Amino acid sequence: MSIQIKDVQTILTQPAGSRLVIVKIITSDDGLYGLGCATFTQRFHAVHTAIEQHFKPFLIGRDVDRIEETWQMLMVNGYWRNGPVLNNAISGVDQALWDIKGKRAGMPVYQLLGGKCREGAAVYGHAGGDTPEAVVDSIRQFEEQGYRYIRCQMGGYGGKASTLVKPEGAPEGAYYNRKEYMMNHLRMFEHIRAEMGFEVELLHDIHERLHPIEAVGFAKDMEEFKLFFLEDALAPEDIEWFRHIRQQCATPQAMGELFNHPHEWTPLIEGRLIDFMRMHVSQMGGITPARNVAAFGQMYGVRTAWHGPGDTSPVGHAANLHLDLWAPNFGIQEWCRFPEHVYEMFPGLPEVRNGYMYPSDGPGLGIDIDEDLAAKYPCANEVIGWTQTRLPDGSPARP
């Protein structure tokens, strides 16, 4: 006898800065439900509306076992597709159905995908500071906690410009200077390697802050520092320039957290123009497409490095981990380090020990939510400031 979707609920909560969107699918089997991550923190109301007003009436009464069919139909039922709002909404449903499938089977999701290739997933943390010396201190703190892969940023994305001359009447915004950012970070990495050698694996995120030709030159200049990878050297609109980066240097490239459409990542993987795929699993539509693209990347030697910031919910981090444990071409997992009360809110949240992330090994995604506690942290509306990036003359720039 099949089990149907009885109800679809959306839980909004903001326990640690980012507004989180959790989908809860309740089934006709009493007590059986699944959780999924639909977090698009900058536009959480839009995702909430899509789920409650459009997806819920479409889903109620459908068979919970038909994950693939449900994913395909949700993708095309609105006719226009592959945008961040609907992709995140689809992801919440998709992850919740995988969670239910695992609970019905009495297995973790990684078993349904094909079983483990590893016992734990290596993670990286985010070191930072306003000076090269402060960044080194931050790296050492991570090393003391067992991290062996560490992303390094100085002064935030794009750096903090010390010689910024704005025109009169320039609007407010997150200003940065491209040339100063590049020179400061080259000096920073030179200092890190001089102080710490080449044992520690270092990563860096450009965050699309450069013009394409500057990104080519910066990637070439960074080659001597032997990065584990350089992230988001280009904006999605400029991905054709990865070919020029590849022709100029051997700095490993990671890309994809802003991607929505398969045609954004397909040419980069087929052309072996990137080394790590960085897609945000809820942004691409959930476990179903992530499983497929991981298998696709395996054929071309491209490894996974799923996006894992604070605006991936704990449920989303659990989904990332199940993919990490299974994928033969796993590379690394970004980790944001949640505070203790988030572990209380999300029982079964994956734990990191000595630089590796481990699952709870409960069935499904192995994670739950305390809805009463989540309700104590309501989402707050705000106008996002850090994505209002500007060049010295006030021109809008990529985030």
Phi and psi angles of residue 10, each rounded to the nearest 5 degrees, phi first = -120, 125
User: What ranges make up the beta strands (E) of 160-255?
Assistant: 174-175, 201-205, 229-231, 253-255
**β-sheet bridge partners, residue 122:** 356
> By C-alpha distance, which of 204, 202, 205 is closest to 194?
202
Q: Of 157, 175, 176, 181, which is the active-site residue?
A: 157
Catalytic annotation present for 207? yes
Residue 272 contacts residue 300 (beta carbons within 8 Å): yes
Catalytic annotation present for 157? yes
Q: Of 126, 185, 204, 207, which is the active-site residue?
A: 207
> By C-alpha distance, which of 144, 139, 125 is closest to 189?
139
Residues 90, 289: Cα–Cα separation, whole Å: 11
Residues 280, 74: Cα–Cα separation, whole Å: 19
Strands 20-27 and 5-13: antiparallel
Residue 168 zone, left/alpha/beta (φ > 0; ψ -120 to 50; rest): beta
Q: Residue 398 corresponds to which tokens in the numbers above?
A: 């990529």
Give helix 287-299 / helix 84-105 axis angle, nearest 10°.
90
Residue 71 contacts residue 267 (beta carbons within 8 Å): no
Q: Residue 258 corresponds to which tokens in the numbers above?
A: 């802003």
Report in angstroms the alpha-carbon separations of 386 from 176, 216, 323, 390, 397. 11, 25, 30, 10, 11
Amino acid letter at 115?
Answer: G
Residues 83, 64: Cα–Cα separation, whole Å: 24
- Under DSSP, the state recorded for 123 is E
Residue positions annotated with a catalytic role: 157, 207
